[in-house]
Amino acid sequence: MGSLPHVVEDCFGLLQLFSDGSVYRNPEVPCPTPLLDDDSVLYKDLVFDSKRSLGLRLYKPSFTSLKKLPILFYFHGGGFCFGSFTFPHFHNLCVRMTTALNAVVIAPDHRLAPEHRLPAATDDACLAMKWLKGQAMHGNVENMDPWLTSVDFDRVFVLGDSSGGNLAHHLAVRFKAGSTELAPVRVRGYVLLSPFFGGSVRTKSEQEHPCEAFWNLEMYDRFWRLSIPIGSTLDDPSANPLGPCSQSLADVPLDPIAVVVGGGEILRDRLEDYATRLRELGKKVEFVEFEGQQHGFFTDHPFSEVADL
DSSP state, 16?
E
Query: Of residues 39 and 255, which shows the higher confidence score?
Result: 255
Residue 184, C-beta contacts closer than 8 angstroms, at least 6 positions apart: 133, 136, 137, 153, 154
Spatial distance between the Cα atoms of 67 and 227, rounded to a whole number of angstroms: 42
Query: Of residues 296 and 206, which shows the higher confidence score?
Result: 206
Output the pLDDT for position 145. 92
Distances (CA, A) of 138 to 72, 122, 132, 142: 20, 25, 10, 8
Query: Of residues 287 and 39, which shows the higher confidence score?
Result: 287
Spatial distance between the Cα atoms of 256 and 186, rounded to a whole number of angstroms: 13
Spatial distance between the Cα atoms of 134 and 130, rounded to a whole number of angstroms: 6
Give which of 54, 27, 43, 150 is closest to 106, Cα–Cα. 43
Angle at 122 between CA 119 and CA 126, to 5 degrees: 140
Q: Above pLDDT 90, what percent of the chain?
A: 83
Output the pLDDT for position 163. 98
Output the pLDDT for position 309. 52
SS (H, E, C) 244-273: CCCCCCCCCCCCCEEEEEECCCCCHHHHHH
Model confidence pLDDT, tens digit, residues 4-56 = 999 999 999 999 999 999 999 998 876 778 888 888 999 999 999 999 999 99
Q: What number is the average pLDDT over the span 243-268? A: 97
Q: What number is the average pLDDT over the span 236-255? A: 97
Q: How many CB atoms lie within 10 A of CB 25?
A: 14
Residue 150 confidence class, pLDDT cut points 50, 70, 90:
very high
pLDDT at position 67 over 80: yes
Q: What number is the average pLDDT over the span 283-296? A: 93
One-letter amino acid identity for 149?
T
Output the pLDDT for position 36. 86
Q: Which helix (H) or strand (E) holds 293?
A: none
Spatial distance between the Cα atoms of 17 and 134, rounded to a whole number of angstroms: 37
Q: Starting from the edge strand earliest in sequence, which strands make up the sheet with 7-11, in order?
A: 7-11, 15-18, 23-25
pLDDT at position 135 over 90: yes
Model confidence pLDDT, tens digit, residues 229-241 = 999 999 999 999 9
Backbone angles phi, psi at 17, to 5 degrees: -105, 130
Backbone angles phi, psi at 244, to 5 degrees: -65, -20
In this structure, are residues 124 and 52 in contact, taking their beta carbons and an 8 Å threshold? yes
Query: Of residues 99 and 144, which shows the higher confidence score?
Result: 99
Could you give the residue numbers annotated as active site? 162, 265, 295
pTM: predicted TM-score of the whole model, two decimal places: 0.95
Q: Long-range contacts for 233-237 (Cβ within 8 Å, ≥24 apart)?
A: 233/200, 234/198, 234/199, 234/200, 235/199, 235/200, 236/118
E strand intervals along 50-110: 54-61, 69-75, 104-108
Pairing of strands 7-11, 54-61: unpaired
